[in-house]
Structure 1
Amino acid sequence: MRRESDVPPREPGTAVETGPDPVDARLGARLAELRAEHGWSLGDLADRSGVSRSTLSRAERAEISPTAALLNRLCAVYGRTMSQLLSEVESAPAQVVRAPEQSVWRDDASGFVRRSVSPPLPGLRAELVEGRLEPYADIAYDRPPLPGLEQHIWVLDGRLALTVQGTTHTLTTGDCLRFRVWGPTHFHCPGPEAVRYALVVVRP
C-alpha cells in the first residue's frame, strides 16, 4: 500500500493510485471499447464528461483505479448505470446469485464499498445493490447516469445523510427514501459508525 506522501497530486474526485488489478484492467479495456464504439477521441470524451484527457487515458490503461464519481460521469456519457458497466466486465449473471459470487467493488478514496447483490440481467429493469460508507465518508455525484433513474434506499444499519434536489434527508436504521434522480446527489455518513444500506435501482 502506498503512503499518502508517495501519491502524486490527482484530479479531485476522479481516481486513486493503485497497483495492478485484474478488475481495473478489464474495466479499463471496456471503457476504451465504449469510446471506440462511439468514435470519440480522448478529447471528445473529456469535453463530454468534464474529466481530463490524462485521467481518462490512465483509467483506460488501468494505471489508476476509477473512483465512484469518475465512473458516474462516464456512465452518464455512455447511458449506463454503474451496475451495467461493472457487469460488462464480469461473466454473465446467473438467475440465482449466490453470496460468494456477488461482485464487490471498492472506492478506497471515498470509503465506499459496493456489493452487486442482483446485477443487471437482460429483460429486467431493476437491480439491487448493497452500499457501505465508512464513518464521515462522502460521495458526490454531479449527475445521474440516466436522467429520471428511479432509486429506493433502505438503511440497514447506521445513519445516512442523502441530499437529493437540494434537500438533505437524514435516514436511520429502517428508514427508506425513494425518488427519481434528475440532478446532483450527495451521500454522507455522519458517523460515528459506518452506514450500510440497500439500493434498488430501476431504469426508466
Structure 2
Amino acid sequence: MLDKQLARHLESIRHQHELSLAEVAEASGVSRATLSRIERAETSPTASVLGRLCSTYGITMSRLMMKVESASPRHLLFADAKTWEDPETGYKRTVISPPTHDYAIEIAHGELPPGADVRYQKPPQQGLEQHLVLISGALNVSFDGADYSMSRLDCVALKLRGRSRFRNLGEVPASYLIINGQA
C-alpha cells in the first residue's frame, strides 16, 4: 500500500513541477523507464533513487514520506509510523515525527543491515542541516569527502552540500536517528 501511495505522490510532484519523465530523468540521472515503472508502482525505488528524486524536487525524504502518510495528530506512536524499505540494500527508514508540515524539524529512524552501503549523489536541499545519532551498532558516514566512524550514542552534525554515504561495516544492524532541520 505504501509503495502505491509513494508512486502516486511522486507522479503528483512531477506534475506540480511541470516536468516530463524525460526532464526528471535528465535532472536526476534516473532512467525514464525506471521513473515510469516507479510511478506505476511496478517497482519500489531504492534509497539512492529516492535520494536523487528528492534532490531534483528539493524536498527531504522524510517530507516526501510524510506526504504519503495520512494526516495524524501531533502525537505519533512508533507502532503506527510507516516504514519504507530499500529493496536493494534492506535499509529501513521510519519517519517518527508526526506528519506535521508546520515544523522545521523532522525525525526519522534508520536501520542499516550489516554490509549495507547506501550512497546519495547530492542532498535533497543544499545546506540541509542534519544530525545523526547512532543508537546501536556501528556506522560509517561520509559527507563531502570526510569520513566519520560512529559508535553507540555518537552524533554527527552537518550541513549537506554534496555526496553522502552510509555504510554498516559491523555484524549487527546499525540503528540511528536522523534529525533534519530546514535549510
Please indicate the TM-score interval, normalised by the length of the shorter structure.
over 0.9
1:118 match: secondary structure:
coil
What does 1:120-199 align with in structure 2 at a 5 Å threshold?
A: 120-199=99-178
Per-residue Cα deviation, 1:133-183 (whole angstroms, up to 9, x for no partner): 111111000000000000111111011000011011100011111111000
User: Hey, what does 2:49 align to over in structure 1?
Assistant: 70
Quote the offset at 1:77 in angstroms. 1.1
Cα pair 1:103 1:115 within 8 Å, conserved: yes
Quote the offset at 1:91 in angstroms. 0.5
Quote the offset at 1:65 in angstroms. 0.4
Residue 3 of structure 2 is aligned to residue 31 of structure 1: no
Normalised by the length of structure 1, the TM-score is 0.86
AA aligned to 2:65 is L
Moved more, 183-192 or 36-45: 36-45
Quote the offset at 1:198 in angstroms. 1.0
Quote the offset at 1:119 in angstroms. 4.2
Query: Out of 42, 49, 62, which is 1:83 matched to?
Result: 62
Cα pair 2:67 2:99 within 8 Å, conserved: no
Per-residue Cα deviation, 1:22-79 (whole angstroms, up to 9, x for no partner): 2111111111111122222111111111111000000000000011111111111111
1:66 match: secondary structure:
coil
Per-residue Cα deviation, 1:170-201 (whole angstroms, up to 9, x for no partner): 00011111111000000000112211111111
Question: For 2:158 and 2:52, how far apart are their aligned partners in 1?
Answer: 20
Moved more, 114-123 or 191-200: 114-123
Quote the offset at 1:123 in angstroms. 2.0
% identical aligned pairs: 38
Question: For 2:61 and 2:127, how far apart are their aligned partners in 1?
Answer: 15
| Unmatched segments (≥5 aa) in structure 2 | none
User: Hey, what does 1:109 align to over in structure 2?
Assistant: 88
RMSD over aligned CA atoms reads 1.1
User: Hey, what does 2:29 align to over in structure 1?
Assistant: 50
Quote the offset at 1:111 in angstroms. 2.0
Number of aligned residue pairs: give it: 183
Cα pair 1:116 1:130 within 8 Å, conserved: yes
Quote the offset at 1:122 in angstroms. 2.4
2:129 match: secondary structure:
strand
